[in-house]
Amino acid sequence: MDLHAFLTKAVSLRFEIAAVILFGIGFMNLMLRHNLIKKIVAFNVMDSSVFLFLASQGYIDGRIAPIAREGIVGAEHYVNPIPAGLVLTGIVVSVSVSAFFLALVQRLYKHYHTVDFDEIMIMAKKKVD
């Protein structure tokens, strides 16, 4: 594939490529950061990137939002509504999981007085031994 066709395809697939890059950023920070709060923010970034990928599969050029209007009947005038329904569920589940993670972080801090992951693991092992 020559350069011009490659660039055209890359620009056309901009949302999917952005979703994969964000997923990579979130994944790398989830594994490599020491601070628990940054791990939670990285997890949220990964969640959002997956939603971006899903919802961008439903867009069709030149069509309008899936609210039925007078006189415009037929499936070839509206955007695909199914991925939007899936992502709506996902957004609400994402906030629930974030809230649970943050409550866990609060209890961990109350017990170990630090939010650094390495120190918590070391102290936990010492307490068990």
Partner 1 sequence: MSKKTDALRRFSGWVNGETAGHAAVRREAARIEHKKLLPELDEQQRIRLFSWQYKLVALVVCLTVVAVLLYTVFHLPLFGDPENPAVNEVVQRYVEDGLEETGAVNMVAGMILDYRAFDTFGESSVLFLAVTSVMMLLLRDARNIVRDEDVQEEHERVIERQTSDIILQKVTSLVMPCIMMFGAYVVLNGHISPGGGFSGGAVMGAGLILLGASFGIDKVRAFFTMKTFRRITSTALLCYAASKAYSFFTGANGLETGIPLGTPGAIFSSGLILVLDICVGLVVACTMYGFYVLFSRGEI
Partner 2 sequence: MSIIFELLLILALIICAIAALGSRRLLVTVVIFMAYSLIMSIIWALLQSPDLAITEAAVGAGVTGILFFMTLKKIHALKGTKDE
3-state secondary structure of 35: strand
Tokens of 112: 């170990």
Task: Enter the DSSP assignment of 18.
Answer: H
- Binding partner selected for residue 122 from partner 1, partner 2, none, CB under the kind-specific 5 to 8 Å limit: partner 1
Helix 117-128 vs helix 82-112: crossing angle, to nearest 10: 60
Of the CA atoms within 13 Å of residue 124, those in its CB half-sphere come to: 11
Q: Does 63 bind partner 2 (CB under 8 A)?
A: yes
- 75 vs 98: CA distance, rounded Å: 37
Question: Judged by CB, which is closer to partner 2: 14, or 124?
Answer: 14
Rank residues 48 and 80 by Cβ distance to partner 1 and give the closer one: 80
Question: What are the residues binding partner 2 (CB under 8 A)?
Answer: 11, 14-15, 18, 21-22, 25-26, 29, 33, 35, 37-38, 41-42, 44-45, 48, 52, 55-56, 58-59, 63-67, 79, 84, 87-88, 91-92, 95, 98-99, 102, 105-106, 109, 114-116
